Amino acid sequence: MKSHRVLVVDDQHEVRLALRSVIEELGSNVEVIDVPSGEEALLEISMGSFDLLVSDVRLPGITGLELLRKAKKHAPDASVILMTGLMDSKIRQEVADAGAAAFFLKPIEIADFLDAVERCLGLVDEPVHRQDALGVDKPVESIADRLTGLRKEMNAISAVLLDERGRVLAQAGDLPDASVETALFPALMAAFSAGDKVAQFLHTAPPSDLMYFAGSKYDIFLAHVGEAYALLVAANPCKSSDQLHESVRLVHASLRDLLTTLAHIGVPIKSGEQPPEPEIEVHEEAFVPEPEIEALFQEVGSTDIDIEEANAFWDTASLRLKMEEITNADALTYDQARQLGLTPEGDDDEQ
């Protein structure tokens, strides 16, 4: 199977992640590289061939139109898709004259965008229709509306968007019973985390999975939405393989729409970095060694310590500490003298 290389250029980190995620859904034979500027894009182009360039028109440094012209010199057969948030007829005309295969206004309709990508990469037979892509600006469906629509399409009990910790972000319809959130969600999120590990092993990013759990009272569908979110659907039990196949298709279709909406509202769809480790307070005054001990510590790294000398040192230090406990050095009690070894031999036997 032929592999394809796609270069995504946009100065907005969330937009790059969203576009990368949806393009990678086309299959493991599609490699996606994303960079934030036209200069970095030219560097990537100079280091290897590519099949498709997807770029914003407004970029820091050289513009998307300039990038298109320079890229075409390096790879004349490569296709280019441009996008912008500016509704300017002059820009649309410049894009058409520059020879872009397609032009999309932000927010991008993911279904139309993926259709253009597939055509540019030759994954489908029909060519890209540029006149359909230019100037099309469809409203983005809200997360709540999409979940509600999916619930109606599947005749499901509920559809829920969760974060990676299992917290409900949006919901359509009530959960089947009150125990689902407390008893079932932790187990489902463990399966969600396991999907991350499987995806890492298979070198798939973001994870592309859909888990199905058949039950007697209701079925559960669980799928990744990007890397950081999960779609959970509680549906009435599937009565046939055809019904199950249709439910899977509807869930897959909703994933693309949810990714579009998350990207549109500026929510990152990639797992966040782990929180930093808490700082541990060190109280330096907690231990102040004696000068003799300090000197011994300093010598350990550079000098071999003789065991007999070390034992003699500790005996001397112990004797000095005992001497300091004596309040009157001119009048020793018998016990103090005995502890210091100053009594005649045999006195202990007489006591």
| 341: helix, strand or coil | coil
What is the average per-residue pLDDT within 185-189? Answer: 89
Distance, in Å, from the CA atom of 123 to the CA atom of 117, rounded to the nearest integer, reads: 8
What is the average per-residue pLDDT within 63-91? Answer: 84
Structural domains in the chain plus CATH codes = 4-133 (3.40.50.2300), 143-264 (3.30.450.30), 284-343 (no CATH)
Give the pLDDT score at 276.
38
Identity of the residue numbered 8: V
Beta-sheet strand order (sheet of 79-84) = 30-35, 4-9, 52-56, 79-84, 102-105
Give the pLDDT score at 263.
66
Contact 153, 260 (CB under 8 A): no
Distance, in Å, from the CA atom of 103 to the CA atom of 83, rounded to the nearest integer, reads: 5
268 pLDDT tier (thresholds 50, 70, 90) = low
- 180 CB-near residues (< 8 Å, 6+ apart): 234
- 99 CB-near residues (< 8 Å, 6+ apart): 68, 72, 80
Question: What would the pLDDT profile of 210-240 be if each residue is shown by its tens digit?
Answer: 999 999 999 999 999 888 889 999 999 999 9
Distance, in Å, from the CA atom of 226 to the CA atom of 188, rounded to the nearest integer, reads: 17
31 vs 100 pLDDT, higher one: 31
Helix (H) / strand (E) containing 102:
strand 102-105
Distance, in Å, from the CA atom of 9 to the CA atom of 41, rounded to the nearest integer, reads: 7
